[in-house]
Structure formats: C-alpha cells, structure tokens
Amino acid sequence: MFRVYDYLMAYYTAKDEVGHFYGRLAVIERADNHIFPNGNISARWRCVCQCGKEVVVIGSALRSGNTTSCGCVHDEASSRNGKANVTHGMARFGTLTTEYKMWAGAKVRARENGLVFTIVPEDIVIPVRCPMLDVKLEVSTTGHPTYASPTLDRRVNALGYTKQNIWVICSRANRWKSNFTLTELKRMVTILEDQEHKDEIFDEVRIGITLESR
C-alpha cells in the first residue's frame, strides 16, 4: 500500500547519485520515485547516455551494474583493425573518453546553475598544451586531477556552455581563473614584477659592495 510518508522518505534519504558515472550513463538529476506493485518505493535518476539519449533508471539498478546504458550497448560494433572503436557519444572500447566526461559534467553544472547548454561532446577539443600557461596537458591515470589535467572552461564565466564560449585549459589555470578576477590577477602580476625588480637592484648593490670590499 502506497503511503506519502514512505514516498517522501525514499525521495529525501536516497544517496545522491548526481555526477556519478555508471557504465555509459552519467547521472544528471533526480527523477520521481518508482512505486512497485507491492508498495515498495525506490529512488530513480535521470541519466544521459553516451549516445545522447536520456533515460530514467532506478538507483539500485545503476549501483548493481544491471543498467549501464540506454540500451545501445548491443548496437556497438567491436574494433577489428586494432584502432579504438569510437561510437555513441565518444567511447573507446567501452570506456568513457575524457571529452565525454567533460561534456557530461558540464551538463550537470549547467542544469544546476541555469546556464545555456548547447554543446555536444565533439565540440570539446583537447589541445596538446594549455593555451593559458603553455604546459603540456596530461590526463591523470590515478583518477585525481593534477595541475596539468585538461579541464573544460567557459571563456566568459557569465555566459553558458556554447561552442564559441568553451575551451580546454589546464586545471591550474582554471582554478586561477575561477578564484580571481582579472583586476586581482593584474594586481598580483604588478606586485610580483615590482618585487622582482627590487630583488635585481638588491643583487646589484650586494655585488657592488662585495667588489668594493676586496
């Protein structure tokens, strides 16, 4: 028998799955609970598949591994020439690509912050070097990003995720850009340059004094 109390408890006490990946599915938001014929209630989650299709899945089915895609897995052909098989929204040998993970994460953030979101995974291009700090971009193999890890950034933070407003920069540059305003960054650069100039003068004076004492 369905009870409102049980429904609300299932909704508000369920483990938050938003932002998690299960197989080819990325969880993007909470959906309405599922009520079984016997009255049991389970939390459901809206997911986006690599192929771009959205599906609603029961949380336990995601965590158990019973549901890992929208149903497109059986349509994916295996690689026959030794090259990575890239289909359905950018998956290589059934593994989510870095570009797809960036895209799925950005979609979640856009929903949470009410931002425009019109990009597709193919719009995300990872350069060899960070265009801001000129360091070589390297995808972390440990699951924990490093200062050189590629990250998706909005060129103008006030705007949404459009093809013209995104680029990939290193994690360090992204943090700086997010934590400081342009005015603050310019001020820091001015102070550092001034300090460097003072250090050079100090070195020249110190060398002069040393020479005179000989």
20-46 pLDDT per residue, tens: 898 888 998 888 888 877 777 888 899
* β-pairing verdict for 21-22 and 95-96: unpaired
**Closest among 120, 170, 168 to 140, alpha carbons compared:** 170
Instruction: Report how far apart, in Å, the C-alpha atoms of 13 and of each of 21, 30, 40, 42, 43 are.
Output: 20, 12, 15, 11, 9
65-116 pLDDT per residue, tens: 888 888 877 665 444 333 444 544 555 545 678 898 899 889 888 888 888 9
CATH no. for 97-179: 3.30.40.220
pLDDT value of residue 18: 87
Token representation of residue 159:
């705007």
Percent of the chain exceeding pLDDT 70 equals: 75
